[in-house]
Amino acid sequence: MTDPSLSSAQYDAMAQKWVLPQTLMGGTPAMRAAGARFLPRHPAESSPVYAERAKRAVLRNYYRRTVQKIVGRVFSNPVIPDAHMPGSLKGYLQNIDMTGRGMTSFAQSWFQDALVCGLSYVLVDFPDMSKARAGDARPYAVHIPAERLIATQWENSGAGPQLVQIRIRETVTGYQDFTEQASDQIRVLEPHQWRLYRKSDKEGWQLVDQGENSLGEIPLVTLYANRTGLMQATPPLEDLAYMNLEHYQIRSDQRNALNVASFPILAASGYDPEIDGPIEVGPNKVLTTSDTDGKYYYVESTGAALEAGARELAALEKSIQLFGLQFEAGSSPESATGRALDAADAMSPITAMIMELEDSLNRVLRLFAKWSGIDAYGSLQIQEGTAMVGQNSTSVGDLLSLMQAGAISLDQLRDQLNTSGILKDRISFNAASD
């Protein structure tokens, strides 16, 4: 039979670019484990010397710090529902993946994977009721990291490209007494059916389960952080990843040079090992030579190379810092007019990412509603940045004045306060479920 674990050429091309960013996210242990792939061995460097140098290499993780900073910026305010969302959907999203995670916590993991790889996925599934426990009849979200969705197929129709098949790589763990046994499996989803293949050491890939997809479509949502095509993307921080790799390599060389330069080398002229015997250095030892003009002396580095390396590292660190600034939207202007005129702020990379994330979250919401048979399902919103207290106070005063004047209703006031994040509804919505 055909091997369902074969990845597509499109996946393979993207996966090559994920290796460095994902390794950087693993920090120093992951970089050391990668060995010569990211810390090359010098041509004249012996294996023991290289192993010692690699063991001492430490990553200053500018890449991971930038990723965490951007994620923190995007989620400085939690995801909030509008007032028109049905209570049943709010309940589902408070425990979105049936593991107790709220919407904001789940969305953070999803967004971070997209930021590292360029794209990431969420599958909105519904339990097989022939196997589910009582009370589990509800949709739930499954985060599919970019590296696990190994192939996609689609067809062009009047409504645009439609997914006709996806293949997801999974690992399941079984237990026999106290022993863990991990097995690879491939999940194949199509608009009207799903299949599950599991690998056997003796028989290869075997179909172990299958069923109907009653939704009539593949319930997959793709979040793009740097889209290059349909189901295609590149890591948006790829340049930063290479700069951090360069810093890691230069710093390793610099640290090794410092280690060598820190120890003076004993040199001798007029020394004849056959006459003078072996050299012994230490307390109560006398060094002599058979040559009357012979001498012993220490050779030390001038430090010029170390200074040049330090300057190079400092320049590189400045470049890394400047690279990260392009993902900052800058300080918020005080007036709405100022915000409207500040086009650079409005279209900053972070703002674009927030717009894409909000759109993707609402597509997840649509699938939750479709599984649940709900037509009017409201929307989810994300606010960029944290509003200042003075601005909040003024907004509340203005809104109250409008309501007292009859310009807006109490429900409209509540909607505005909820959207602004002033009311506590957003906190309870994003609270973890027991």
Find where tokens 């009357």 sit. 292
93 or 315, which is more confident?
A: 93
Confidence class for position 409, pLDDT limits 50, 70, 90: confident
Structure confidence at residue 335 (pLDDT): 44
CA distance 280 to 274: 14
Higher pLDDT, 345 or 130: 130
pLDDT score of 377: 93
Q: Mark 411-424 as b/e (b = at least 16 C-beta within 10 Å).
A: eeeebbbbebbbbe
Q: pLDDT for 160-190, tens place per residue?
A: 889 999 999 999 888 888 888 888 999 999 9
Give the range among 121-130, 274-283, 373-382 with minimum mean pLDDT: 274-283
The residue with greater pLDDT, 165 or 42, is 165
Distance of alpha carbon 81 from alpha carbon 328, whole angstroms: 26
- In the sheet that holds 149-157, the strands lie side by side as 149-157, 160-176, 179-190, 193-200, 204-212
Overall average pLDDT of the 81-94 stretch: 92
**Do residues 103 and 430 lie in contact, with contact meaning Cβ atoms separated by under 8 Å?**
yes
DSSP helix/strand/coil, 345:
helix
Is the pLDDT score of 22 beyond 50? yes
What pLDDT is stored for residue 255 in this prediction?
75
pLDDT for residue 371:
94
Residue 389 is predicted with a pLDDT of: 34
Encode pLDDT of 211-222 as tens digits: 999 999 999 999
Mean pLDDT of the chain: 82
Task: Measure Cα distances from 216 to 191, 196, 219, 367, 371 in Å.
Answer: 5, 18, 9, 11, 10
CB atoms within 10 A of CB 118: 25
pLDDT at position 327: 72
Res 21 pLDDT > 90: yes
pLDDT > 90: what percent of the chain?
A: 50
Radius of gyration of the chain, Cα coordinates, nearest whole angstrom: 30
pLDDT of residue 422: 56
Is the pLDDT score of 83 beyond 70? Answer: yes
Domain ranges, ordered by start, for the chain: 265-299, 391-434
The yes-or-no verdict on residue 434 having pLDDT over 60 is no
Look-up of token digits 């590189």? 316
pLDDT, position 388 = 33
Say whether 81 sits in a helix, a strand or coil. Answer: strand
Between CA 250 and CA 312 the distance in angstroms is 9
pLDDT of residue 124: 97
Q: What is the pLDDT of residue 309?
A: 65
Residue 334 confidence (pLDDT): 44
pLDDT(342) > 50 = no
Determine the pLDDT at residue 428: 55
How far apart CA 106 and CA 78 sit, in angstroms, is 11
Reading the block at residue 49, the tokens are 């010397």
DSSP state of 192: T
Q: Model confidence over 373-386: pLDDT tens digits?
A: 999 999 999 875 54
pLDDT higher for 416 or 116?
A: 116
pLDDT tens per residue, range 241-277: 999 999 999 888 887 665 555 556 666 777 777 676 6
Whole-number Å distance between alpha carbons of 50 and 188: 45
126 has a pLDDT exceeding 80:
yes
Contact (Cβ atoms closer than 8 angstroms) between residue 309 and residue 250: yes
What mean pLDDT do residues 66-73 have?
A: 92
Task: Please determine, for residue 351, whether its predicted confidence score (pLDDT) is greater than 80.
Answer: yes
Q: Which of 153-157, 224-228, 264-268, 330-334 has the highest mean pLDDT?
A: 224-228
**Considering the chain, what percentage of its residues have pLDDT values greater than 70?**
76
| Average of per-residue pLDDT across 105-126 | 97
Tell me the average pLDDT across 84-100: 92
Which of 37-41, 300-304, 405-409 is least confident?
300-304
pLDDT at position 3 over 80 = yes
- What is the rounded average pLDDT of the residues 23-31? 97
Q: What pLDDT is recorded for position 322? A: 81
